[in-house]
A = this chain, B = another copy of it.
Amino acid sequence: MWDPDGKIPERMGTLMCVKGLLIDLDGVIYVGDTPIDGARNAIAFLVQNDIPFRFLSNTTRKSRRTIAGKLAAMGFEIPEEHIFTPPLAAIAHMRKTGRNRYHLLTTGDVDQDFNDIGLNDGTGLVDYVILGDAGDAVTYNSLNRAFRQLMGGAELIALERDRYWLSGDGLALSAGPFVTALEFATGKKATVVGKPSRAFFELALQEIGLHRDQVAMIGDDIVTDIEGAQAAGIRGILVRTGKFREQDLTPGGIIPWKTIDSIAGIKEIL
């Protein structure tokens, strides 16, 4: 509405500002075990100015606690409750449906995230087969057990469905190919709970206690982070670090709300 006094109503100002941030980890905060230049200062700035934030990462090879330890070793003292990974979304999904018998097919210590919920059963009747980036845990027998559970009525939850990632010794298959294999074998469609799933963004919004229009998502993946966030009504801030390539910004493609060189530039736009 037009204001005869010419003042911008206070509430509109609030809506226009970014009040909180969702932040991707790999490629935004660090690459491998090395922090991105200026990332520590940027996070310190958020803490000092009481700007709430949560980390929203698609990693499915490490537990929340292990990620917090890795961050601490790089100089980021972040409570593990501030870290959101797809296992948290899978658990939220199970709590919502009230069905929590599952078979978890992952690697690393991700199973630690599931300690407080339900029963992990690799061979019996389960409600869900939960598939992440499972590395060496992928064998013919482990996939066949998952296949039989799905044919027996279980639903398939994909922690992510990436095609591959760049490991220390070369390209390495991610969870996506095995999700696709089980979909082909069973005719069932997986529920993807990591980014860009809307439920995952909404879970983080709920925890941060802000509305979608008060928050921005910072990431290096034009699809998973930016398209995913913007499709959920959250502003997307693309960084030119990590897996970012200039061709990600093609004419006719996704347009981020803002693009910045790195998370070090976050102070300028808040």
Contacts and interface: CB of A to CB of B under 8 A. Distances in A.
A178 B144 CA distance: 12
Interface in A175-189: 176-178, 180-182, 184-185
Interface stretch (A22-30, A166-174, A203-211, A257-265): A166-174
Nearest to A144: B173
Contact of A177 (B137, B163, B182): B182
A181 B163 CA distance: 9
A148 interface: yes
A172 B144 contact: yes
A171 B143 CA distance: 12
A147 interface: yes
Given A138-B143, A139-B138, A148 B171 contact: yes
A45 interface: no
In the complex this chain forms, how many copies of it are found? 2
Given A177-B185, A180-B180, A184-B163, A140 B144 contact: no
A234 to B, nearest CB: 28
Given A173-B185, A185-B163, A140 B134 contact: yes
A140 B138 contact: yes
Contacts of A176: 184-185
A188 B222 CA distance: 23
B171 A147 contact: yes
Residue with the greatest number of chain B CB neighbours at <10 A, chosen from A139, A141, A176, A185: A185
A77 to B, nearest CB: 35
Contacts of A143: 138, 173, 177
Interface in A118-153: 134-141, 143-144, 147-148, 151
Nearest to A178: B181
Interface of A: 134-141, 143-144, 147-148, 151, 163-164, 170-173, 176-178, 180-182, 184-185
Given A173-B185, A177-B182, 20 more contacts: A136-B139, A136-B140, A137-B140, A138-B140, A139-B139, A139-B140, A140-B173, A144-B173, A147-B171, A147-B173, A147-B177, A148-B170, A148-B171, A163-B184, A163-B185, A164-B185, A176-B184, A176-B185, A178-B181, A181-B181
